[in-house]
Structure 1
Amino acid sequence: MLTNYLDNRLNLNSAANARNRSLFPGRRAGQHLTTTSLRLRLRNLGLSNLDGRAAAIRHLLQQAPAPVVADMLGYSTTTATRIAFETGTTWQRYAADKNGR
């Protein structure tokens, strides 16, 4: 499936973009597909990324404190802490950094 996709990637027809090495090439030469465009393409194929995203953040929150995961993914600390609490992993004994976070 992957090799078939690689042989038939979209947006490689223009001379400026023919050598784009991106797995998901965008419309502009040398640029990759934006996350929004990729999400819409997947949704049009009947694939939702929400279940996978929710599972991924819950899995990360079991392995690292909410503030660390929030910083890595661009979530608010409040949201990450709420999800961690819902998951049952609070990391309340985690030592704060030197700034008290």
Structure 2
Amino acid sequence: MDLTALLTPANIPVAVVAVNVLAFAAFGINKAPAGQGMRRISEDTLLQLAFLGGVAGAYAGRELFRHKTRKQPFSNQLHMIAGLQLCAAAFMTVYLW
């Protein structure tokens, strides 16, 4: 399968929405076993989903499910990812358009 056929400007918003839905769902899925000592989704995976474009879904899932809100290193890393994405978006807006 040719991946360049999938990387079109029309598919980018679809991919961003899909990653945000996945990040949101991951926070909900991760919250359920949190108090039961069961196996959970790693923090690295949650942060990777945010880094891949799911920051909005991560923040929404965090708030709605009240999950990972008091964990300071995790919060700092999520804020850093959001800041990097804002800087990248600003750069692309100014220099690529």
Verify same fold: TM over 0.5.
Answer: no
- Normalising to structure 1: TM-score of the pair? 0.33
- Normalising to structure 2: TM-score of the pair? 0.34
Bigger Cα Rg: 1
Identify which of structures 1 and 2 has the higher relative contact order when contacts are C-alpha pairs closer than 8 Å and 6+ apart: 2
